A and B are shown apart, each in its own frame.
Chain A
Amino acid sequence: MTKLGTKPGREISYADALYEAVASEMDIDPSVFVFGLGVDDPKGMYGTTKDLHVRFGADRNFDTPLSEDAMTGVAIGAAIAGMRPIHVHQRFDFLLLCMNQLVNLAAKSSYMFAGAVSVPIVVRSIIGRSWGQGAQHSQALHSMFMHVPGLKVVAPTTPHDAKGCLIAAIRDNNPVIFVEHRMLYGNRGVVPEESYAVPFGKARTLKEGDDITIVAVSHMVVEALRAASHLEKVGVHAEVIDPVSLSPLDIDTIIQSSAKTGRLLIVDNAWTACGASAEIVAQVVEHFQQTRAIQVRRMGFAPVPCPTTKPLENLFYPNARTIAAKAYDMVKGADQHWLPEGPEAKEILEFKGPF
């Protein structure tokens, strides 16, 4: 368990941390290259791939035809040939066009061929609410990929973990689905200048507390930490855990915390049905059955497609206040009808579209 943000050091944004990870790996390993719709355009994927082609050559950071299916296969073929491609998607929703290649080819090749080939690809995919992205530009479908043996799924929240996880993903000899929330891009945090890998399968306890364990995914970690601040003011001490990597999943850290607090609230940045939250609950309940009754609750997207209009979009997502209220009810018992006062998340308020 590592605490972040307690040491002085250089602070950069999540987006800059991603850029640094890719650029540093491209610098030391000629087999690393980047492609995807718009990676070499003037905006450079929110700055995360900006001018990589100028620095490393046009064949190592290139735009592609709108052919997600084939381009995923191209990544797999190049990886089998010994390269380390990074395929970037502006929206996670587009991964549905890549499902066949990811699930039938990438995930299976090592096993099906008894280790004769490896498929070291990174699939960077951007999720997230903001400014009316709606039903087809905001989905977070990481749970679908957690279901499949052979894939790894990571969703780092802090700039530190964004850099370290992306470096680890590039060096990993397996397909890695790398989930990035758009509302995290501007977040700043301490990021070492040197190269480092954050190992997968290690959760982070970002705040300690004895009353309730809150496990949150991606941007919901930010909201959960805000919720924990609300809760502190009313004397409830929440422990906030960021799994960082969803597959492999560090269930031990979650189990230990749940044993301490006796209460587990999981807040996914996704739907709850058959999701990461369902998997975590199942594993925790299986662990404690007949020895300990752990109180469990889940929060996530409303079970509807995401609407664009702001009032409904706000209801669709959990936020710091609703997370705090749910945790408070769990600690106090029945419904307390308590909802803390507080502004909407700064990064959401400040975001301006259209993209």
Chain B
Amino acid sequence: MTKGVRGDNAVLLRRLYTSLYRIRRVEEEIVRIYPTDKIKSPSHMSLGQESVSVGVCEALRKTDIVFATYRSHAAYLAKGGDLKRMTAELYGKADGAARGKAGSMHLIDMSTGMMGTSAIVGTSLPLAVGYALAERMRGKDTVVVVFFGDGAQEEGVFHESMNFAALKKLPVLFVLENNTYAIHTPLGARVPAANFRERAATYKMPTQLIEDGDTLALLEATEAAAARMRAGGGPEFFEVMTMRWLEHVGPGDDLHLNYRTKAELDAWKAKDQVKLIGAMLDDAARGQIQREVEEEVQAALAFAEASPYPADHELYEHVYHD
């Protein structure tokens, strides 16, 4: 169950629900549109995992920095990324966040501190550490968050990045989104023990376990960690249990593959954070948010539809930076 001292704050709850519901509806619409082939971009859906990004990002300042993965929609939107530029990017249009050159796996919005995401597992980890190093060299108190999946902790760069961040006491919040599957491979086939917090602890960093993708618990934990990091406390590590509802990539259900059970998935759907947070609002407030989000989402899709494709000459642009 959701917990947390902030649960009675109506303004906060409305903000959280807006963010959660907005991501949910955007992704439901992507799922609906995907079979039309208008979105020609491998999309790794965040459905079911929205709360991890929302809980963490709600505790951040606009000037704080987020690095995330190719399952990027939730983090991008939670950090304040422009929705119209996201939908246009998925459509491969010129008004997209990267003029159609990036697609779903490489969303970026520098104006809100959302760094471009990478399709290579684990590769954003050291970039976050380097960004934090740069900010500290310039005397800023920026917090840098890096989201990564449970597959990333098997990459060597995970340990190299944690080691260096801890060595230099850099303000990096490592957020492991543990959905327990690397594509279709369960943890038991990949590690002798899923003791990820113990691994982080060997680098002398504080760790926390957040069960059930609990939005309010994450918000509270992130606020406290960010304050410690701004004061020079060094990196921290969260392990957040969560579950993706759909297949690894694409809009479909994947229970027919039999690598996980319906019961397992249903248990997660029963504790859906979008519904749980929404239930804390009264019907009027929830309904208003839903109407506003719906209007915004449909406007963003219309924007993507109307946007032109990039011109041929753009193929050769931006290879090098002037």
Contacts and interface: CB of A to CB of B under 8 A. Distances in A.
B224 interface: no
**Chain B: interface residue count, which band?**
35 or more
Interface stretch (A40-48, A69-77, A185-193): A69-77
B63 to A, nearest CB: 12
A64 B120 CA distance: 24
A73 B319 contact: no
Given A67-B164, A116-B108, A117-B110, A105 B118 contact: yes
A65 interface: yes
B129 interface: yes
A285 interface: no
B268 interface: no
Given A59-B137, A64-B164, A70-B164, A150 B319 contact: yes
Contact of B130 (A76, A111, A116, A152): A76
Interface stretch (B153-161, B181-189, B291-299): B153-161
Interface string B305-321: 00000000000011111
Contact of B320 (A71, A74, A110): A110
Given A69-B157, A74-B133, A83-B137, A112 B126 contact: no
Given A65-B167, A80-B115, A100-B123, A73 B98 contact: no
Interface in B271-311: none
Given A104-B120, A112-B102, A77 B318 contact: no
Contacts of B128: 77
Contacts of A59: 137
A149 interface: yes
A14 interface: no
Closest 8 CB pairs of A and B: A73-B126, A77-B130, A70-B160, A77-B127, A74-B130, A81-B134, A67-B160, A118-B321
Q: Which of B102, B110, B129, B320 has the most CB of A within 10 A?
A: B320
Q: Which of A59, A85, A113 has the most CB of B within 10 A?
A: A113
A116 B156 contact: no
A229 interface: no
A29 B120 CA distance: 33
A178 interface: no
Given A77-B126, A81-B134, A117 B116 contact: yes
B135 A101 contact: no
A174 B130 contact: no
Contact of B157 (A70, A116, A117): A70
Contacts of A82: 134
A23 to B, nearest CB: 18
Nearest to B118: A105
B34 interface: no
A116 B81 CA distance: 14
A75 B98 CA distance: 23
A33 B123 CA distance: 22
B78 interface: no
Given A115-B321, A117-B116, 9 more contacts: A70-B164, A72-B126, A83-B137, A85-B130, A104-B118, A115-B317, A116-B108, A118-B321, A152-B320
Contacts of A83: 134, 137
B99 interface: yes
Interface residues of A, number: 42
B125 interface: yes
A113 B108 contact: yes
Contacts of A113: 97-98, 101-102, 106, 108, 116, 318
Contacts, number: 137
A314 interface: no
B196 interface: no
Contacts of A67: 160, 163-164
Contact of B129 (A74, A105, A117, A149): A74
A114 B130 contact: no
Contact of A78 (B131, B156, B320): B131
A114 B99 contact: yes
B243 to A, nearest CB: 28
B101 A111 contact: yes
Contact of B120 (A100, A120, A149, A150): A100
Contact of B123 (A78, A81, A104): A104
Nearest to A85: B130
Nearest to B106: A112
B98 A114 contact: yes
Contacts of A76: 126-127, 130
Contact of A110 (B130, B167, B319): B319
B253 interface: no
Given A59-B137, A70-B125, A70-B161, A149 B131 contact: no
Contacts of A101: 123, 126
Interface in A258-295: none
B161 A114 contact: no
Nearest to B127: A77
Nearest to B107: A113
Contacts of B106: 112-113
A77 B134 contact: yes
